[in-house]
């Protein structure tokens, strides 16, 4: 199966480093040409399912503009420039929650949208996490730390209390990785 | 915990129904004002983990512009206007794969990005799926149907062959729902 071939792209909005978007002209393998196919680029990010030494999962209760209300999310954030995903995951977990772990497992890297592209999220499981510092409180959001058992976190996702797909993908993959 | 308060939003690009984006001014609970916070709106969508009567999962091998290469995805697509998520899921599964099921379970609805918003994806598990028609072949993409066992599909996700976060979230939640 052949990929499509790009015949060129335009940038229609550029608020780097936050959001760049435009459209692209594609030639399909059968020769058809599709114009004005939108693309969007935002920054790549990490999300972390951090399991504490007592077996609870570390979550954050906060307001997120894209969610429109106060919900639970997993610790997550944008990669800094030149940062590897695991370094970013360790930094975000420490900054947002004060937790650290020495036992990291990649749960994979995934594209946010198959049509627009957008960003790549790198998902991690951190086992044996323990609180070694206070959260640094530098994010825009007020963050309340919440610890839930894994079954309770999965129930919170089903009930709509965890409504971010990156958080729920990371949580579900972590639960599968931890299943006996 | 209080939500942020919107002080107004601008539209900077509008290619409806595909992509609308702009920025918003937010007042934080502590009185700080954040300007130029980007938002993006695309169409809502469904994704389906369809398990056949022989226990395999129905996947599609195709090129997606946002992925940039040929990969595996779960059957998925945009909601038509006035369509409920389950009606859209039944339609997309039938159109893209020719499979139908009478046993549908919601795996939840999730926002694609906690900052930009973007879209809501409605995830479903369809059990006892059987092929009742040919795929309609009307999508832009050339689609090759692939059936994998659930463990093989999870291995494909870990190996980067399923790289769309909506597909992997739906797959992982389905695997948890089906676990004994």
C-alpha span between B112 and B110 (Å, rounded) = 6
Tell whether B34 is within 8 A of chain A (Cβ).
Answer: yes
ipTM: 0.95
The pLDDT, as a whole number, for residue A65 is 92
Tell whether B179 is within 8 A of chain A (Cβ).
Answer: yes
Are A164 and B111 inside 8 Å of each other by CB? yes
C-alpha span between B162 and A13 (Å, rounded) = 30
To the nearest 10°, the Cα dihedral for B155, B157, B161, B165?
170
- Same domain membership, residue B52 and residue B104: yes
DSSP structure class, residue B174? H
Residue B63 has pLDDT above 90, yes or no: yes
The pLDDT, as a whole number, for residue A100 is 98
- Same domain membership, residue A12 and residue A24: yes
Q: Which of A135, A138, A157 is nearest to A49 (CA)?
A: A157
Of A30, A108, A166, the CB nearest to B158: A108
C-alpha distances in Å from residue B12, one per residue of A8, A64, A163, B19: 22, 21, 26, 11
The string of pLDDT tens digits covering residues A155-171 is 999 999 999 999 999 99
- Same domain membership, residue B122 and residue B35: no
Of B3, B110, B176, the CB nearest to A164: B110
Task: Give the confidence band of B17 by pLDDT, cuts at 50, 70, 90.
Answer: confident
- Same domain membership, residue A138 and residue A104: yes
pTM (two decimals): 0.96
Are B70 and A142 inside 8 Å of each other by CB? no
Domain hosting B19: range is 5-41
Residue B138 has pLDDT above 90, yes or no: no
- Same domain membership, residue A53 and residue A30: no
The pLDDT, as a whole number, for residue A43 is 93
- Same domain membership, residue A130 and residue A63: yes
Give me Rg for the CA atoms of chain B.
Answer: 19
- Same domain membership, residue A166 and residue A110: yes
Tell whether B178 is within 8 A of chain A (Cβ).
Answer: no
- Same domain membership, residue B113 and residue B52: yes
Max CA-CA distance within chain A? 59
- Same domain membership, residue B156 and residue B88: yes
Tell whether A62 is within 8 A of chain B (Cβ).
Answer: yes
Task: Give the confidence band of A97 by pLDDT, cuts at 50, 70, 90.
Answer: very high
- Same domain membership, residue A14 and residue A49: no
DSSP structure class, residue B149? -
Task: Give the confidence band of B10 by pLDDT, cuts at 50, 70, 90.
Answer: very high
Residue B180 has pLDDT above 80, yes or no: no
Task: Give the confidence band of B135 by pLDDT, cuts at 50, 70, 90.
Answer: very high
Task: Give the confidence band of A138 by pLDDT, cuts at 50, 70, 90.
Answer: confident
- Same domain membership, residue A155 and residue A103: yes
Are A38 and B19 inside 8 Å of each other by CB? yes
Residue B144 has pLDDT above 90, yes or no: yes
The string of pLDDT tens digits covering residues A20-60 is 999 999 999 999 999 999 999 999 999 999 999 999 999 99
What is the number of structural domains in chain B? 2
- Same domain membership, residue B127 and residue B75: yes
The pLDDT, as a whole number, for residue A136 is 87
The pLDDT, as a whole number, for residue A49 is 98
The pLDDT, as a whole number, for residue A140 is 80
Residue B131 has pLDDT above 90, yes or no: yes
Q: What is the CATH number of the domain that holds B49?
A: 3.90.79.10
The string of pLDDT tens digits covering residues A98-125 is 999 999 999 999 999 999 989 999 999 9
Residue B112 has pLDDT above 90, yes or no: yes
Q: What is the mean pLDDT of residues B75-83?
A: 95
Using left for φ > 0, alpha for ψ between -120 and 50, and beta otherwise, residue B160 falls in: left
C-alpha span between A95 and A85 (Å, rounded) = 15
In chain A, % helix, strand, coil (3-state, to 5) comes to: 20, 50, 30
The pLDDT, as a whole number, for residue A154 is 96
Q: What is the mean pLDDT of residues B9-25?
A: 93
């Amino acid at each position: 199966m052949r990929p499509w071939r790009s015949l060129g792209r335009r940038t229609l909005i550029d608020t780097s480093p936050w959001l760049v978007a435009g459209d692209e002209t594609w030639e399909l393998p059968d020769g058809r040409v599709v114009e004005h196919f939108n693309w969007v680029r935002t920054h790549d990010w990490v999300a972390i399912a951090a399991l504490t030494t007592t077996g609870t999962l570390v979550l954050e209760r906060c307001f997120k503009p894209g969610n429109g209300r106060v919900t639970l999310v997993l610790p997550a954030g944008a990669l800094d420039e030149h940062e590897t995903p695991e370094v970013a995951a360790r930094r975000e977990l420490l900054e947002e929650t004060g937790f650290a772990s020495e036992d990291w497992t990649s749960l994979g890297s995934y594209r946010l949208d198959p049509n627009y592209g957008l960003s790549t999220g790198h998902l991690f499981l951190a086992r044996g996490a323990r609180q070694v510092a206070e959260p640094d409180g530098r994010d825009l959001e007020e963050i309340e730390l919440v610890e839930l058992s894994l079954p309770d976190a999965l129930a919170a996702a089903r009930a709509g209390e965890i409504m971010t797909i990156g958080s729920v993908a990371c949580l579900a993959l972590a639960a599968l990785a931890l299943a006996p």
